[in-house]
Amino acid sequence: LGPDLDEARKCLAQVFGFPGFRGVQDQVVARALAGRSTLAVMPTGAGKSLTYQLPAVMLEGTCVVVSPLIALMHDQLRSATANGIRAAALTSVDTDREVTIDRFRAGELDLLYVAPERASQPHFRELLSKAPLSLFAIDEAHCVSEWGHDFRPDYRLMRPLMDAFPQVPRLALTATADRHTRADILEQLGIPADGLIVAGFDRPNIQYRIAPRDNPQRQILRFIADNPGPGVVYAPTRAQVEKLAEQLGAQLGAEGRRVLPYHAGLPAHVRAANQEAFVSSEDMVIVATVAFGMGIDKPDVRFVAHAGLPKSIEGYYQETGRAGRDGDPSVALMLWGADDFARARQRLAEVDETRRQGERTRLDALAGLVETTACRRAVLLRHFGENPPATCGNCDNCLEPPALTDATELARKLLSA
Ligand code: ADP
Ligand code: MG
């Protein structure tokens, strides 16, 4: 019957130094301790890692964590090790793989991080049979679903791996899954439907603003001037990131405010340095592709701007969710153009049939968010299956209700794209 929640609270204080659980963390932890499988849908920053790290410390055996990115694994490793948790990762860049395997076999690991591509190999399954396991944690579990926004085929191979260890409970974690994706994740990972736990998605301290793009450089400059703290400007392509970083840097640099670019095309050391500069800054602006942000723990990001249409509502929610983790007022601005929708529709025609329906549904949902003259937050939260009040008082449409003529004009623009 596993150790109970009182013990979990003691461990939370002693090992992690936290005074209490947040949101639904305790429910998720209790299920893992009781050996029951769970899909936890919790917003970015809600503290998903803790829900498997804590049981991993308390339970006998090793918790196997499947994670999609080496950078994410290493962030987690650093913080776990700093808390005195026995953790290691098996990746192509970790050169001490033999040591890790020995530690695992000797039962000396609480956490073993691995990517799905490695976890699906026969010798990994064999390795897992050599020592007791406490839990399977599947992080970023939306990657298992084609309905999700980040499908990763190797996630599909986690079910047969876990099925080989039927006595080990499963904990799938994601920040971004609509109803459809949730059902698919449960199915793909073999988690019973009553194992679904969904945390509230509302981020009341984030003000949502969405506007048509006319002069993005000027619009974003004004936005940044209104928001003095550190912030992220997302641009759709590397080229746009470079250009915008240069333009904004020329203007803001004169006022002593740093602007740095971030995208996957930059050398690793430049990316690391720019990220580091941002994390420790109190007023820096980072211009980035969506490659930026995963696993970055900066609580005082005051604004997030999108210079172009995000890929999906899930992406928009996740990216804007990097603002205001400290709970202080923060603003999210999205600039969109009819050409964004035209391009997205063109891409629709190019993807293969199996994915087209999902992509179209995603695009329609985004159009709904952009077009609405009603509360943006209500549209967002309904998308995630919640039943919010009709107005929030903290989005552009609630603060400055649009005139009907503007709305008609907007719809006309969208439809003619
Ligand atoms: P997620 O994966 O859900 O985006 P993380 O697991 O990265 O979130 O946690 C976000 C932050 O919240 C981390 O800095 C973590 O240390 C902190 N955190 C987690 N649980 C608690 C808690 N119970 N009390 C205080 N801080 C917490
Ligand atoms: Mg996480």
Averaged pLDDT in 10-residue chunks for the chain of 417 residues = 75 90 90 96 89 97 96 93 96 91 97 96 96 97 88 96 98 89 95 92 94 95 95 97 97 94 95 94 96 81 97 90 89 97 92 85 94 96 88 97 74 65
Cα-to-centroid distance, 47 and ligand 1 (Å): 3
Pick the atom of ligand 1 nearest to 79's CA.
16
Cα-to-centroid distance, 409 and ligand 2 (Å): 40
Per-residue pLDDT at 414: 67
Pick the atom of ligand 1 nearest to 44's CA.
4
Pick the atom of ligand 1 nearest to 48's CA.
3
Task: Quote the radius of gyration of the chain (alpha carbons, Å).
Answer: 22
Number of neighbouring beta carbons within 10 Å of residue 199: 19
* Spatial distance between the Cα atoms of 185 and 107, rounded to a whole number of angstroms: 30
Greatest CA span in the chain, whole angstroms? 70
Residues 359-369 as b or e (16 or more Cβ within 10 Å = b): beebbebbbeb
Cα-to-centroid distance, 135 and ligand 2 (Å): 17
ipTM rounded to 2 decimals: 0.98
Nearest to 56 by CA among 75, 84, 78: 84
Q: Is the CB of 297 under 6 A from ligand 1?
A: yes
Cα-to-centroid distance, 321 and ligand 1 (Å): 14
Q: Specify the pTM.
A: 0.67
Place of tokens 């999609």: 68
* 41 neighbors 14 (Cβ within 8 angstroms): no
Q: Is the CB of 45 under 6 A from ligand 1?
A: yes
Q: Is the CB of 48 under 6 A from ligand 1?
A: yes
Q: Is the CB of 165 under 6 A from ligand 1?
A: no
Instruction: Take residue 249 and report the two structure tokens written for it.
Output: 């840097």
Pick the atom of ligand 1 nearest to 19's CA.
24
- What are the Cα distances from residue 44, in Å, to 158, 314, 321? 23, 11, 6
Which ligand sits closest to the CA of 51?
Answer: 1
- What are the Cα distances from residue 116, in Å, to 20, 153, 158, 287, 311? 32, 9, 7, 30, 24
Per-residue pLDDT at 77: 95
